[in-house]
Chain A
Amino acid sequence: MRVLVIEDEAPLREQLQARLRTEGYAVEAADNGRDGLFVGREYPIDVAVVDIGLPELSGIEVIRRWREAGRDFPVLILTAHGRWQDKVEGLEVGADDYLVKPFHTEELLARVRALLRRSAGWTQAVLHCGPVALDTGSQTVTVDGEPVELTAYEYRLLEYLVMHTGHVVSKTELSEHIYEEEMDRDSNVLEVLVGRLRRKLDPERALNPIETLRGRGYRFRLERTDPPTADDREIAEKPQ
């Protein structure tokens, strides 16, 4: 998944970037509103973390222009004030959640995960598709309860496919959302990754979870099977 972080305070921005990368995200960063607006408009982004108080263009303005341009990825705003008026303003203009600075990084990660799931239509932390269960919190995968060992990129690829289960995902889309901008992408690498995933998830070749559609891309074939409970346990306690 690709995250855009717009934060003008360098230490905070760098800290977030590093942590998000560790968590398996492809991270783009900007230190002012104008650059951030551009990246959000021109590049494929899955979720954005935007500080409200930015130089050149305020966070609120950036979000407003994104929404006007039809960019509808979820946005988490960071606010130093914590006044309800600011939170409401941000949410009204198009943000989906807020966090008051200073925050616990764990809290931010949890909320980003929740936003990503929600925007893909999932309400829970664990995505169930038949025998396959993908836990976005611990970033682990089980098949029929048996854990499966995946590398970082294998997991990223699988997570993206599972989130968009039933939809065709082109190779370009996959590489855009899994890799960071500057990385050298070779479409062969994707094929190799998919091959490895198939072998690990489905050694007996009984499930066929990932389907290749020649010329169009890949599709995760197993349907969603949500267990009955509906509350989003991943939303941690919100501090005031």
Chain B
Amino acid sequence: MLSLNARLLIAASVVLVAFLGLTGLTLDKAFRRSALAAVHDRLQTRIYGLLGAADVDAANGLELPQALPEGRFSTPGSGLYGQVADGSGRVIWRSLSLLGLRVPFPQAQQPGTRRFSETRAPDGTEFFAMAFAVTWELGPGEEQRYTFQVAETRDQFAGQVAGFRRSLWGWLAGAALVLLAVQGMILRWSLAPLRQVAREIAEIESGHGSLLTGRYPKELRHLTDNLNALIESGRSRLERYRNSLGDLAHSLKTPLAVLRGTVEGDPGPQALKEVVQEQVDRMDQTVHYQLQRAAASGRTALTAPLAVAPIARKLTSSLTKVYAGKAVQLRLVVDAETSFRGDQGDLMEILGNLADNAWKWSRGRVTLRAHGTDETSGEPPGLVLEVEDDGPGIPHGKASEILGRGVRADPHTEGHGIGLAVVRELVEQVYGGNLYIDRSPLGGARVRVTLPK
């Protein structure tokens, strides 16, 4: 897996090279074209020069002077060559520079027409050449056709192009390097938050920190918030285990002490039996309760919401099976979208305990309701669970006792006792919700649980 740095660098470099390359090629081509146009113009100017220098001689022929304004015509091997041919193709003038050289000049047919060509001599030298056909009026009514031809070696052109190229690519390469360097700096700056996250995590791992505390750009914030939530829930779970173990050890001390005391007092078999029974029951409840407490998973970040309806259905069909001897009519009011954010085991524990109580005490009717709440319903957003039965209900004093303090470390067992205590612990301590007990319109108890989002 390529690192982010590598990816960005490679991508940027490729784009840069492609762009600069393309620019370079385009500029190069444009320059060539313009240089070629210049050659064209130059040759044309030379031809006009020759035309200007030409004159009719005494014999009604065309002649050109030895010394031409353009000195290069007169210098052998100068790279600039000229020639004039008559209508039949016979060469009537050659520039001195043409000495011994054979330059393939182009031919122009129609007077007034021009022909431009890039040619190559038999010895390999390359030329730009132009031919211009004219009709010269030698005398009244006497016209002669002439073709003026000029050629130039490629050297000048090639030199210009090469010079341009050197400049161009030199500058482009320079620009590329500068851009890459700037890119590198931009990368470092942009990826700084990621480096910061990595650094903070390393600190947490080594024990120097506990949460991600930096300020992060909005793209990372969701990630860092969730990470913090994960760290937090892990820590609170650990805390819960420790507390439960502590409470468990503490609560077991009393029954153990009682047992020890009883044995030391050398009681009769019946008395011993009673005490053992009693204390075993007590220890059993405590163990059970604390196990439930510790086993609660709570809400972890990054969990998908659970649909409440299928879980409610599973539970109620299980209870119907278990209480098969009792004909209980169930009303289940949960719609498909109602969802719970948290652990499935915890939801089953909450609903299971409430429903079990309802079934146990009911005379034949139980209603289970669950619905989500949001701002529009007037209640804080979250989930509401309600279980009602038509049994005897919970007396007010008992309800206060269950909801009051002191039930946590050492619960009593009496019908609603442990079950509701477990539910309360889960709802209040683990999910930050609330438990309410009142009377149901059906006649029995109504227990209502509200869980925030």
Contact = CB atoms under 8 A, between A and B. Distances in A.
Interface of A: 81-85, 87-88, 91-92, 96-98, 100, 102, 114, 118, 123, 230-232, 234-235, 237-240
Contacts of A238: 356, 360
Given A240-B413, A240-B422, A91 B325 contact: no
A197 B360 CA distance: 40
Contacts of A231: 325-327
Contacts of A97: 321-322
22 contacts: A83-B292, A83-B345, A83-B349, A84-B353, A85-B345, A85-B349, A87-B352, A88-B315, A88-B348, A91-B318, A91-B322, A92-B317, A97-B322, A118-B325, A231-B325, A235-B325, A237-B415, A239-B413, A240-B356, A240-B418, A240-B419, A240-B422
Contacts of A102: 280, 284
Contacts of A114: 325
Given A96-B322, A102-B280, A240-B419, 20 more contacts: A82-B291, A83-B292, A83-B295, A83-B345, A84-B345, A87-B318, A91-B318, A91-B321, A100-B288, A118-B324, A118-B325, A230-B327, A231-B325, A231-B327, A235-B325, A235-B326, A237-B360, A238-B356, A240-B288, A240-B353
A72 B288 CA distance: 32
B323 interface: yes
Interface in B53-72: none
A114 B318 CA distance: 17
Contacts of A91: 317-318, 321-322
B306 to A, nearest CB: 12
Contacts of B318: 87-88, 91-92
Main secondary structure of the interface of B (DSSP, over half): helix
Interface of B: 280, 284, 288, 291-292, 295, 314-315, 317-318, 321-327, 344-345, 348-349, 351-353, 356, 360, 413, 415, 417-419, 422
A128 to B, nearest CB: 16
Given A230-B327, A240-B418, A240-B419, A88 B314 contact: yes
Contacts of A81: 291, 295
Nearest to A117: B325
A205 B418 CA distance: 56
B344 to A, nearest CB: 7
A88 B314 CA distance: 7
B348 A232 contact: no
B291 A123 contact: no
A230 B327 CA distance: 8
Contact of B324 (A82, A88, A96, A237): A96
A75 B390 CA distance: 30
A15 B360 CA distance: 29
A81 B348 CA distance: 14
Contacts of B353: 84, 240
A212 to B, nearest CB: 34
- Most A CB contacts (10 A, CB to CB) among B318, B353, B418 go to B318
Contacts of B413: 239-240
Contacts of B327: 230-231
Nearest to B350: A84
B302 to A, nearest CB: 21
Contacts of B417: 240
